[in-house]
Amino acid sequence: MSELEDIPYSRSDTIAAIGDFYKFLTEVYLKDLRVIHPPTEGWPSIVDADPTLLESFGKSDEVMSLLAHLPYIHSPGNSKEQQVGPNCVFADWQRLLAQPSSGWSTGDELRIITEGPEFTKFATSSHAVGLTYGSRETPVMVLDTRLGVVHWHDCPDAIERTHGADAVGYEADDDVPMDEENWRSDACTWAIPDFFEVLKDLFRTLHWFPVRPYQVWSASFTDDDGNAVRLVQDIYRQQGWPNLARYRKTECLAAVRRALEDKYPSLADSGE
């Protein structure tokens, strides 16, 4: 386990780690066109975001510069949000901060759906920002540009057991309020590049696996007889997974769809 003081932060390395994760997802299930990249000068909707909204959002110049130069995953624009994990949608900040379509009257509202109500209530850190957004079922993953880490609050025990060895030992900081300190200490924490490698490994081991081009299940998902998960995992292995040189993305997703429609129609979907 690494120590917090040994973790560096690099904006370019963070952008590269996130971009590499998205590229990996396109090799697994994600449509290439879902990944969008910023112009050289940064996303205009972030660079020119409403000053009043940014003031209440309360983020540092480094956070805003990072968000302005990140690639993002664009959702279909309907109820089928593009998942990067089970019930997990990454925040598309160039859309969330766009004016006048963002719809957020204050930055606090935006923080609640991206950092969760607990962290928003306790934290005063201008250098931390949420990676995800959505309902209470959405995992809360907070990236800290000062510490160079990602906190995953309420990380499932199974993931913490299998990937905890790569985590970072978080120690109390006298400059951080106690409630925020407790939140950070309770979260599982990784260096930013390591965090995205953990996410990729969850796919490689079929702990996470896509069932549609926009939806991901967890191996802990339960159905009436408990066999749907094993059925889908077996299809992935038959299609060459996890060897990307042998894996057949299009054929695999089609086979998963047919199998669910045949054996588990209540879990199937018409797709995009």
pLDDT band at residue 243 using 50, 70 and 90 as cut-offs: very high
pLDDT band at residue 167 using 50, 70 and 90 as cut-offs: confident
Does pLDDT of 165 surpass 90? no
240 exposure class (CB count in 10 Å sphere: 0-12, 13-18, 19+): middle
Predicted local confidence at residue 170, as pLDDT: 75
Q: What is the mean pLDDT of residues 241-258?
A: 97
Q: What is the pLDDT of residues 202-242, one digit of tens each?
A: 999 999 999 999 999 999 876 556 689 999 999 999 999 99
C-alpha count within 13 angstroms, C-beta hemisphere, residue 121:
6
Predicted local confidence at residue 216, as pLDDT: 95
Q: What is the mean pLDDT of residues 127-146?
A: 93
Does pLDDT of 173 surpass 80? no
Which residue blocks in 58-204 are alpha helix, DSSP H?
61-69, 93-96, 107-122, 157-163, 178-186, 192-204
Between 164 and 112, whose confidence is greater? 112
Predicted local confidence at residue 224, as pLDDT: 53
Does pLDDT of 101 surpass 60? no
Predicted local confidence at residue 144, as pLDDT: 96
pTM of this structure: 0.93
224 exposure class (CB count in 10 Å sphere: 0-12, 13-18, 19+): exposed
pLDDT band at residue 177 using 50, 70 and 90 as cut-offs: confident
Predicted local confidence at residue 78, as pLDDT: 59
Predicted local confidence at residue 272, as pLDDT: 41
Does pLDDT of 85 surpass 70? yes
211 exposure class (CB count in 10 Å sphere: 0-12, 13-18, 19+): buried
Sign of the alpha-carbon torsion through 213, 214, 217, 223: negative
Q: What is the mean pLDDT of residues 3-20?
A: 90
Q: Are 93 and 115 in contact (CB under 8 A)?
A: no
Does pLDDT of 6 surpass 60? yes
Q: Are 153 and 116 in contact (CB under 8 A)?
A: yes
Q: Are 35 and 86 in contact (CB under 8 A)?
A: no
Predicted local confidence at residue 269, as pLDDT: 62
Predicted local confidence at residue 172, as pLDDT: 64
Does pLDDT of 267 surpass 90? no
Q: Tell me if residue 261 falls in helix, strand or coil.
A: helix
Does pLDDT of 260 surpass 90? yes
Predicted local confidence at residue 225, as pLDDT: 60
Cα–Cα distance for residue pair 72/191, rounded to 1 Å: 20
